[in-house]
Chain A
Amino acid sequence: MAFTVALAGNPNSGKTTLFNRLTGSTQRIGNWPGVTVDRKEGTIKSKTDITLIDLPGVYSLSPYTMEEVITRDYLVHEEPDAIINIVDASNIERNLYLTTQLLDIGIPVVVALNMMDVVNKRGDVIDIPALSEQLGCPVIEISAIKGFGIQSLVGTAHEAAHFGATPHFVEAVEGDVATAVHHDQVIAHHQYRETHFERTFTAPVEAAIDSIAQVIQGRMPIEHLRWYAIKVFERDERVEKSLHLNEAERAQVESLISAVETEYDDVSSSIVTGESYDFISTVVEQTVTKQQVGMSLSDKIDRVVTSRILGLPIFVAVMFLVYYVSVTTIGALVTDFTNDTFVGAWIQEPVAHWLGSIGVADWLQSLFVDGIIGGVGAVIGFLPQMIILFIFLALLEDCGYMARIAFLMDRIFRRFGMSGKSFIPLLIGTGCGVPGIMATRTIEQDRDRRMTILTTTFMPCGAKLPFIALIAGVAFGGAWWVAPSAYFMGIGSVIVTGIILKKTRLFSGDPAPFVMELPAYHPPILRNTFYSVWERSSAFVKKATTIILLTSIVIWFASSFGFDAGGFGMVDDLNQSIAAHIGNAFAWIFSPLGFGNWKAAISSVLGLAAKEEIVSVMGIFSSIGDGAIDMVDAGQMGALSPIMMLFGASAIPVAAAYAFLAFNLLCVPCFAAVGAMVGEMKSWKWSLFTIGYQCGWAWIVGMIIYNLWIWIALGTFGFWTVAALLCLAVILFLLFRPAPRDRVAKLAARTTAA
């Protein structure tokens, strides 16, 4: 018989470690329907008839976070045969709070009491039989890291799934165990719990819950009745709505709730939470003997690592190390190797040679070598660097420092609608936007993560440096301030975008406050690091490959095909390509930015393949030839000066060149980054919004720069000057207006005070 067992527990309870240990290489990753949370499942290695579903880490079954809603909907609607509830024994009070809620659901629960090694080392003693007795479910001591107790846990979970409860509890239930069907067993188990175990809440609350149960029963499987009744008592809107109560029933329920609320002078949900914790405190008092000890090692580490004086310097040092290794040194080395040697010399050249030798048509050769291999190569090229970065992220997360980064940086980043953890993606983004975007995976809050993905590529990445250097060289004679101004513009765009969008409805939705556990430090577990790196890398390859491959082929086609004297076909001259025609059609869009000629326009478009291409394409267009990139590297700005002719038609060519710089810096990143972005947003709506916002923002900034520049320098005042001033005014208004939600909150506060 095949069973489904759900694995539930708090974040940082060792759930991932246990899941990895139980399922190993059998795990599969998918998505929960309609949301962006990963859904992992696998087969238990030693009991292959059990499918284990890894539920998101949650502290409670409240309806306020996506993870909580997924967990409770899964448990109530998809009814797994049993729940393994992993509990961190070294943090038992808060962990048991979720346990009490899971027990109420009525599905057999097996508590896996994890980190018993830590507890034993501390000298604390937990009376397991007594704890099991008090909770009314089996409790198995384990250490997910060291691997003890795992077999016993699997065996007990199997029994629980098979018999609807473990024999110990089933024996006590009247009836024939052997012949009873599973569902009836669950009910029997549930009824047994109802009659034999101490109730969690005080008498008036229990009475109200029982009365509510009378009203709502029959609308759900009987074993879930108590959970539904408690949720109705808490005024849980999602549950209420799903029950379709009529007017009379609603009034009856309401009067039951408000009677208790009046008696306790508190709201019902607060009473339930408070009494659950009171119940747990009693249980813990009776079953756990704590040794009074001094500061733990973790406390000592934390005293230094997040201290007022050393906190920030240590943070800077850690970030420097991450950046230096994964971007500057090893990262750059392996990226160059994969791009130039591995993909270029070892794959592209031999394939081109071979295709040539067997007489494949030129265009097909070009499609394979430049389009497909080049496109896939672009993805593979990022991979080694990304793996290095992912190893760092996994280590930082696993050892507990990532939570401290959020703690240290929260004050700054929350103003921009981001998490303190957004620092890493933005920092990595100055090297390369692709791993920067992938690094947003460490951010739990959807809203914060989206904002970070949206803004990360505003930072000048390595591939944008050539055209920044080019503009600085040919337009400003190598002026020192051009490159720093690009960084300021990037950071400024992140900040302004963050503040503006944070106040819009798009980003102000979820009201969940920032209340974050700071888990104890512990040495990272290699197995977890491995799985985390594997998971993230393969997600990138899978999701990014399709879009990058497709767009590479499109770009390849547009720039190598066109109309020449012989009609439609492959063209050597970029001027005759389809891309040039498209550029021509869209050149007018860039007129307000001062570079409304198709050559500059198409440079920007072809820059989407890779931003350094902008320089090459501009070189080709200004008859410098193919080597423009190398000339930038060599600093031969004099030889590159013909490029300024591309801006020759505008009132002030230098201003147009700077607007061009601003536009290309802030506009949509290269397709590799767009691929990563689409993969991480996991939503076409959000991806399109991001692309649209980035294009719009880049255009507006370029337009403002160019028109104000020529207005101030030449006194040219026209339609676009007004437009620029208007845009600037709107941006300033959006920047400084009070947040709509704050206004509501303040109003509410005033009303309560009055």
Chain B
Amino acid sequence: MATMADMKVGETATVKRVHGDGALQRRIMDMGITKNVTVTLRKVAPLGDPLEITVRGYELSIRRGDAAVIEVI
């Protein structure tokens, strides 16, 4: 399963499904990361984590560990 944590900087992917328990899944989806949405990995913080992605026209920061529950294709 490919996840957002595996994406490379500059890469664009489509979200297939958001896994994770209630709070984590809900919070990620509340921010607009839902099925079939397009996400682009913009950059990785200088210390290697968190990630910065573009989704629905805005910038969102998410930790690698949390990004691992977001399945992408």
- The answer to whether A97 has its CB under 8 Å from any CB of chain B is yes
Check A93/B57 contact, CB under 8 A, given A273-B26, A513-B66, A515-B62.
yes
Give chain A nearest CB distance to B49 CB in angstroms: 5
Scoring B residues 39 to 57 as 1 if CB is less than 8 Å from chain A, else 0, what string do you get?
A: 0000111111110100011
Bound together, the chains give a CA A306 to CA B61 distance in angstroms of 12
Q: Name the prevailing secondary structure of the A interface residues.
A: helix
On whether the beta carbons of B45 and A407 are closer than 8 Å, the reply is: yes
**Contact among A274, A302, A515 for B60, CB-based, below 8 A:** A515
- The answer to whether A277 has its CB under 8 Å from any CB of chain B is yes
- The answer to whether A526 has its CB under 8 Å from any CB of chain B is no
Bound together, the chains give a CA A379 to CA B37 distance in angstroms of 53
On whether the beta carbons of A518 and B52 are closer than 8 Å, the reply is: yes
| A residues in contact with B34, CB < 8 Å | 273-274, 277-278
Bound together, the chains give a CA A224 to CA B17 distance in angstroms of 31
On whether the beta carbons of B57 and A91 are closer than 8 Å, the reply is: yes
On whether the beta carbons of A97 and B61 are closer than 8 Å, the reply is: no
State which residues 4-37 of B face A: CB under 8 Å: 17-18, 21-32, 34-35, 37
Which of B30, B43, B58, B61 has most A Cβ within 10 Å? B30
On whether the beta carbons of A64 and B47 are closer than 8 Å, the reply is: no
On whether the beta carbons of B27 and A94 are closer than 8 Å, the reply is: no
On whether the beta carbons of B26 and A269 are closer than 8 Å, the reply is: yes
**Contact among A62, A302, A414, A516 for B26, CB-based, below 8 A:** A62
Which of B35, B49, B60 has most A Cβ within 10 Å? B35
Check A64/B23 contact, CB under 8 A, given A411-B50, A515-B66.
yes
How many of chain A's residues have a CB under 8 angstroms from any CB in B?
44
- The answer to whether A408 has its CB under 8 Å from any CB of chain B is yes
Bound together, the chains give a CA A295 to CA B49 distance in angstroms of 24
Which of B18, B26, B28, B31 has most A Cβ within 10 Å? B26
On whether the beta carbons of A512 and B56 are closer than 8 Å, the reply is: no
On whether the beta carbons of A513 and B63 are closer than 8 Å, the reply is: yes
How many of chain B's residues have a CB under 8 angstroms from any CB in A?
35
- The answer to whether A589 has its CB under 8 Å from any CB of chain B is no
On whether the beta carbons of A514 and B24 are closer than 8 Å, the reply is: no
Give chain A nearest CB distance to B61 CB in angstroms: 5
On whether the beta carbons of A408 and B47 are closer than 8 Å, the reply is: yes
- The answer to whether A328 has its CB under 8 Å from any CB of chain B is no
| B residues in contact with A60, CB < 8 Å | 26, 30
**Contact among B18, B31, B63 for A517, CB-based, below 8 A:** B31
Total number of residue pairs linking A and B with CB closer than 8 Å:
122
On whether the beta carbons of B23 and A512 are closer than 8 Å, the reply is: yes
On whether the beta carbons of A517 and B58 are closer than 8 Å, the reply is: yes
Give chain B nearest CB distance to A419 CB in angstroms: 12
- The answer to whether A344 has its CB under 8 Å from any CB of chain B is no
* Interface stretch of the complex, out of A139-147, A307-315, A551-559: A307-315
Closest to A302 in B: B59
On whether the beta carbons of B23 and A408 are closer than 8 Å, the reply is: no
| B residues in contact with A517, CB < 8 Å | 31, 58-61
State which residues 303-343 of A face B: CB under 8 Å: 306-309, 311-312
**Contact among B18, B29, B49, B56 for A93, CB-based, below 8 A:** B56
| B residues in contact with A414, CB < 8 Å | 63
On whether the beta carbons of B46 and A273 are closer than 8 Å, the reply is: no
On whether the beta carbons of A306 and B45 are closer than 8 Å, the reply is: yes
Closest to B20 in A: A513
- The answer to whether A591 has its CB under 8 Å from any CB of chain B is no
Check A270/B27 contact, CB under 8 A, given A302-B59, A515-B61.
no
Closest to B35 in A: A274
| B residues in contact with A94, CB < 8 Å | 31-32, 56-58
Q: Name the prevailing secondary structure of the B interface residues.
A: mixed
Bound together, the chains give a CA A531 to CA B59 distance in angstroms of 27
Closest to A313 in B: B46
Bound together, the chains give a CA A414 to CA B43 distance in angstroms of 19
| B residues in contact with A403, CB < 8 Å | 61
Bound together, the chains give a CA A302 to CA B60 distance in angstroms of 13
Bound together, the chains give a CA A406 to CA B27 distance in angstroms of 18
- The answer to whether A3 has its CB under 8 Å from any CB of chain B is no
| B residues in contact with A511, CB < 8 Å | 21, 23-24
| A residues in contact with B45, CB < 8 Å | 306, 311, 407-408, 410-411
On whether the beta carbons of A411 and B32 are closer than 8 Å, the reply is: no
On whether the beta carbons of A273 and B24 are closer than 8 Å, the reply is: no
| A residues in contact with B18, CB < 8 Å | 270
On whether the beta carbons of B29 and A516 are closer than 8 Å, the reply is: no
Scoring A residues 54 to 70 as 1 if CB is less than 8 Å from chain B, else 0, what string do you get?
A: 00000110101000000
On whether the beta carbons of B61 and A407 are closer than 8 Å, the reply is: yes
| A residues in contact with B37, CB < 8 Å | 277
**Contact among A267, A513, A514 for B23, CB-based, below 8 A:** A513
On whether the beta carbons of B63 and A514 are closer than 8 Å, the reply is: yes
**Contact among B17, B21, B23, B49 for A410, CB-based, below 8 A:** B49
Which of A274, A403, A513 has most B Cβ within 10 Å? A513
- The answer to whether A180 has its CB under 8 Å from any CB of chain B is no
Closest to B24 in A: A513
Give chain A nearest CB distance to B8 CB in angstroms: 14
Bound together, the chains give a CA A278 to CA B11 distance in angstroms of 23
**Contact among A62, A277, A307, A406 for B43, CB-based, below 8 A:** A307
Give chain A nearest CB distance to B33 CB in angstroms: 8
| A residues in contact with B50, CB < 8 Å | 407, 410-411, 514
- The answer to whether A412 has its CB under 8 Å from any CB of chain B is yes
On whether the beta carbons of A514 and B30 are closer than 8 Å, the reply is: no
| B residues in contact with A306, CB < 8 Å | 43, 45-46, 52
| B residues in contact with A277, CB < 8 Å | 29, 32, 34, 37, 56
Which of A91, A302, A515, A519 has most B Cβ within 10 Å? A515
| A residues in contact with B46, CB < 8 Å | 306-309, 311-312, 408
| B residues in contact with A410, CB < 8 Å | 45, 49-50, 61, 63
**Contact among B24, B47, B57 for A411, CB-based, below 8 A:** B47
**Contact among A62, A308, A311, A518 for B27, CB-based, below 8 A:** A62
Q: Would you give 11 A-B contacts (Cβ < 8 Å), ordered by A?
A: A60-B30, A64-B27, A94-B56, A266-B17, A270-B18, A311-B46, A407-B50, A511-B24, A513-B66, A515-B61, A518-B52
Residues of chain B having any CB pair with chain A under 8 Å: 17-18, 21-32, 34-35, 37, 43-50, 52, 56-63, 66
Known: A308-B43, A308-B44; 4 extra A-B contacts, CB below 8 A, are A64-B23, A270-B29, A513-B66, A517-B60
